Chain A
């Protein structure tokens, strides 16, 4: 492959990762507050369909994107309401919504299948886009991709460098203690779930109005993206930078799957496409293994120095999810 083709391909990877980034960062924020929104797959399909329909009927891309965000926020609001106010299981409600919203998307979107609609085209940034290598890679993207770059930075700054972000982390880490410090835990959980949902909702139009424009129903290849986003969220350990790495890695693997296919006829394309999942499982294993009871028992049997060393290694690998993730908070 020529150098230019590689750069163009990588630029495509960045663009393809943008929608997933929106979803993953949205879910990261939600889970940081202690809520799991399992409905991602359905939400993204529904918002992709909905934003496409709105955009093509009104002719306005902006309205389309807004519709997507609203849909995402709406579904997330249902999850938040049922879990925070009604104290139903987040997993149950999220799972049902994942299936329901998917079917809604296909059903309502049926008449619009295959139609052409407005498409977000690339915007070259003057001057910067002429820099060799970096220019074509970074600065000839469409608006959503630029926004995704900004989103990573914004999320990171928010979570780690802002006062409300500190409160968010405290709510996820230890809701009781955050409550003792004056945080309105349930209200914050609600807000962050809806905010995260809105970001997830933007992932839909980022596909149907940009990356793979149009609504093609079951052939759109979108089905499953929401589950992948959930996996990457866990892999990203609730850290926007690591999550971004996961998204780009995933998009890269997808691209490699297409590119390398002709040269490796014996390796099926499915292998590379599915690679994120075994990797995610492996990551989850490594991260949790220190907590397993049999590991603790085994540790106790080791001689002292070895034991301390292994314990230290395990502790450094350990990534704890926000405590109380999925558990409703009650003040009394």
Chain B
């Protein structure tokens, strides 16, 4: 098989998966009695139709890119960091805490904002390393540890919002008392987007790419993720690297949480993580863990999310159609990839049988 065609075959299969996903979503739309083309048009308009909407897409893009960058590290170390949602939440909690603490001090606002972000990173990192410690020292599978900690994080948020941090009067689902404007991450005029947040996210993915592809740490993560026993025998301090992977991912997730508080909602709300953790996992799975594709695909998914908001307004459809498209994309990519491997395996086996006969 020529080298040229062997590069294009996987791409062809992935394109096939895309069309399958599109087809599946179309069927779902038809089942719901909705016009598919119109729905897709609305999604596109809803995300790219105006400057405001484009800015909104970028606002969603930032936390998604951060969580994706984070889980790329944990995936590289062979870990299923399902707890990333909780890590975003803890980041938001720590940020809110620091902001409340420093609210009435004489520190310059920009310093408080920076502390807020650092606090968020620390909160996410701690929560992640808790899941990591449970795994490395307690043998608790990180999937269930992470899940459990996700729920605990949500409960913690609710308790804070309705308890110690409740708004004067009575606590409500709308969250804590909003922070004064000087503690907001500066936004572009008229838009909800903060260019600093965007910068942070882009820098993060570049750093993660460099980390994974060009440093020894990245090489070590890869070894740990691929064969823990061999990595240990080769002299790597495996548990340290696992914890490090958790910590780095948690820091990035926490940063996402910090940005949600400082740049988007300006307070702590019940579901502050908004599903960006899980969505980040999906993006990472879709790009088959190649950091190069993180930004474009995360942007695409963010666009789907924002575009989907139009659907209830214009077509009386639920905005979860975006989720359907996103989920089916990943599912079909997985299925198609599996089919391709089996197909190639069968060919290889047939070729070997011919040889030995």
Chain A residues close to B by CB (< 8 Å): 38, 78, 82, 85-88, 91-93, 95-97, 99-100, 102-104, 106-108, 110-111, 217, 224, 227, 230-231, 234, 268, 270-271, 273-274, 277-278, 280-281, 284-285, 288-289, 291-292, 294
Contacts and interface: CB of A to CB of B under 8 A. Distances in A.
Contacts of B328: 100
A92 B156 CA distance: 28
Contacts of A85: 338, 342
A197 B281 CA distance: 24
A230 B320 CA distance: 24
If over half of A's interface residues share one DSSP class (helix, strand or loop), that class is named, otherwise mixed; here it is helix
A231 B145 CA distance: 9
Given A82-B335, A99-B278, A107 B151 contact: no
Given A87-B341, A93-B334, A97-B331, A103 B147 contact: no
Nearest to B138: A285
Contact of A107 (B141, B281, B317): B317
10 contacts: A99-B278, A100-B324, A106-B323, A111-B32, A271-B155, A274-B155, A281-B145, A284-B140, A284-B145, A285-B139
Contact of B140 (A92, A97, A106, A285): A285
Contacts of A38: 143
Report the 4 A-B pairs with minimum CB-CB distance, sorted nearest first. A86-B338, A100-B327, A103-B323, A288-B139
Contact of A108 (B32, B158, B335): B32
B318 interface: yes
Contacts of B233: none
Nearest to A105: B320
Contacts of B15: none
B158 A86 contact: no
Interface string B156-195: 1011001100000000000000000000000000000000
A294 B323 CA distance: 43
A82 B144 contact: no
B331 A88 contact: no
B128 interface: no
Nearest to B163: A268
Contacts of B163: 268
Contact of B152 (A91, A227, A274, A288): A274
B159 A88 contact: no
Contact of A277 (B147, B159, B322): B147
Interface in B4-33: 28, 31-32
Contact of B159 (A91, A100, A106, A268): A268
Interface of B: 28, 31-32, 80, 82, 134, 137-141, 143-145, 147-149, 151-152, 154-156, 158-159, 162-163, 278, 281-282, 285, 317-318, 320-324, 326-328, 330-331, 334-335, 337-339, 341-342
A86 B341 contact: yes
Contacts of A111: 32
B28 A281 contact: no
B271 to A, nearest CB: 10
Contacts of B140: 281, 284-285, 288
A277 B317 contact: no
A87 B147 contact: no
B138 A288 contact: yes
Nearest to B332: A96
Contact of A278 (B31, B137, B152, B282): B152
Contacts of A231: 144, 147-148
A224 B150 CA distance: 11
A104 B28 contact: yes
B334 A88 contact: yes
Contacts of B323: 99-100, 102-103, 106-107
Contacts of A97: 327, 331
A110 B143 contact: no
A107 B318 contact: yes
Contacts of A110: 32, 317-318, 320
Contacts of A284: 134, 138-141, 144-145
A270 B82 contact: no
Nearest to B130: A281
Given A93-B334, A103-B321, A268-B155, 15 more contacts: A86-B338, A87-B341, A88-B335, A106-B320, A106-B323, A107-B32, A108-B32, A110-B318, A224-B151, A274-B155, A278-B148, A281-B134, A284-B140, A285-B134, A294-B137
B158 A87 contact: no
A96 B321 contact: no
Contacts of A280: 144, 148
Contacts of A274: 151-152, 154-155
Nearest to A268: B159
A280 B141 CA distance: 12
B139 A289 contact: yes
Contacts of A106: 318, 320, 323
B285 A92 contact: yes
A34 B80 CA distance: 19
A36 B234 CA distance: 32
Nearest to B143: A91
A99 B282 contact: yes
B69 to A, nearest CB: 19
Contacts of B138: 284-285, 288-289, 292
B233 to A, nearest CB: 13
Given A93-B334, A231-B148, A108 B31 contact: yes
A110 B331 CA distance: 23
B250 to A, nearest CB: 17
A280 B147 CA distance: 10
A96 B334 CA distance: 10
Contacts of A230: 144, 147
A37 B178 CA distance: 41
